[in-house]
């Protein structure tokens, strides 16, 4: 059976997350339904990562085994047709080897978390960013973020329901950008690692927001990390601002 890789973009707000569930709508369910409209016996698909409810993606990657030998262009066009009107789109499709796996072949995942700091509600970006009311000191946030770079036990930044075998992860990159925004600030946190723990990025974003407001000194991020205690973490941010922006492979299939 030919195997195909898909790069997928979606608005996570209508869904209970990526993974198929009993009852709630999911991105995986919608994509499998679109594929099975083309071939009824398509097996369950596999993705690079399981995003939570409300989390978005511009660079999610999944693979599927098809019975028919499709050209990637025709397959992506057909799947996008059957995905309508769900806010999901295939932005790239490629034929891959039979042993290529969207999850296990991946070498890194990249996320961006967007915070908009302004008092006025968001009209155009509602659901696409975490709005905080007061201004944030991005310089202080960058100082706090430095404590998280490298290999650490991230128990403090791990959800209690996380199923990962170990809390030890290596955060290869965390950078912050600031852009002007009407009446406030548009702040982007970019994070890169081979893999992440459940709620790790949202926990980091919520903690750095505390630093940005001045409620925490930057050094407290390091102290929270060293505590290896979930109670030492800052508040977990909402999912609105979180986007899976890319997945890295030894050879990019797209």
CA distances from 203 to 36, 60, 113 (A): 37, 21, 11
Task: Say how far apart CA 244 and CA 254 lie, in whole Å.
Answer: 17
Predicted local confidence at residue 160, as pLDDT? 83
What is the tens place of the pLDDT at every residue in 196-247? Answer: 999 999 999 999 999 999 999 999 999 999 999 999 999 999 999 999 999 9
What is the tens place of the pLDDT at every residue in 79-114? Answer: 999 999 999 999 999 999 999 999 999 999 999 999
At the top level of CATH, the class of 108-246 is alpha beta
Q: How many residues does the chain have?
A: 254
Q: Is the model's pLDDT at 47 over the cut of 90? A: yes
**Residue 137 is a catalytic residue:** no
The structural architecture, per CATH, of the domain 3-105 is 2-Layer Sandwich (3.30)
Whether residue 119 contacts residue 184, with contact meaning beta carbons closer than 8 Å, is answered with: yes
Q: Find the mean pLDDT for residues 49-66.
A: 96
Evaluate the CA torsion angle 79, 85, 88, 92 in order and state its sign.
positive
What is the tens place of the pLDDT at every residue in 121-167? Answer: 999 999 999 999 999 999 999 999 999 999 999 999 999 888 889 99
Evaluate the CA torsion angle 36, 42, 48, 52 in order and state its sign.
positive
Of 41, 52, 229, 240, the catalytic one is 52
Mean pLDDT score of the chain, rounded to an integer?
Answer: 96
The full set of domain ranges for the chain reads 3-105, 108-246
Predicted local confidence at residue 199, as pLDDT? 93
Q: How many helices (H) and strands (E) would you count in the chain?
A: 5, 10
Which phi and psi (to 5°) does residue 71 adopt? Answer: -80, 145
Residues 6+ apart with CB under 8 A from 143: 211, 218
**Short-list 246, 114, 244, CA closest to 179:** 114
Predicted local confidence at residue 163, as pLDDT? 82
């Amino acid at each position: 059976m030919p195997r195909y890789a898909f790069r997928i973009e979606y608005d996570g707000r209508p869904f209970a997350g990526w993974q198929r569930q009993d009852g709630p709508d999911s991105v995986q369910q919608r994509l499998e339904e679109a594929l099975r409209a083309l071939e009824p016996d398509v097996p369950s698909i596999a993705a690079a990562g399981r995003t939570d409810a409300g989390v978005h993606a511009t660079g999610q990657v999944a693979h599927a085994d098809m019975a028919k030998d499709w050209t990637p262009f025709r397959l992506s066009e057909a799947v996008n047709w059957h995905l309508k009107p769900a806010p999901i789109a295939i932005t790239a499709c490629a034929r891959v080897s039979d042993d290529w796996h969207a999850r296990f072949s991946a070498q890194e995942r990249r996320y961006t978390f967007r915070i908009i700091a302004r008092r006025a509600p968001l009209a155009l970006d509602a659901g696409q960013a975490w709005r905080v009311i007061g201004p944030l000191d991005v310089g202080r946030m960058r100082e706090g973020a430095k404590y998280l770079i490298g290999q650490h036990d991230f128990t403090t930044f791990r959800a209690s329901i996380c199923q990962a075998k170990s809390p030890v992860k290596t955060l290869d990159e965390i950078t912050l950008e600031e852009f002007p925004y009407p009446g406030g600030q548009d702040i982007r946190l970019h994070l890169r690692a081979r893999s992440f723990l459940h709620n790790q990025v949202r926990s980091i974003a919520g903690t750095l927001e505390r630093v940005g407001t001045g409620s925490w000194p930057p050094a407290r991020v390091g102290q929270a990390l060293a505590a290896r205690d979930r109670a030492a973490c800052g508040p977990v941010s909402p999912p609105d601002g979180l986007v899976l922006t890319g997945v890295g492979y030894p050879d990019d299939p797209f």
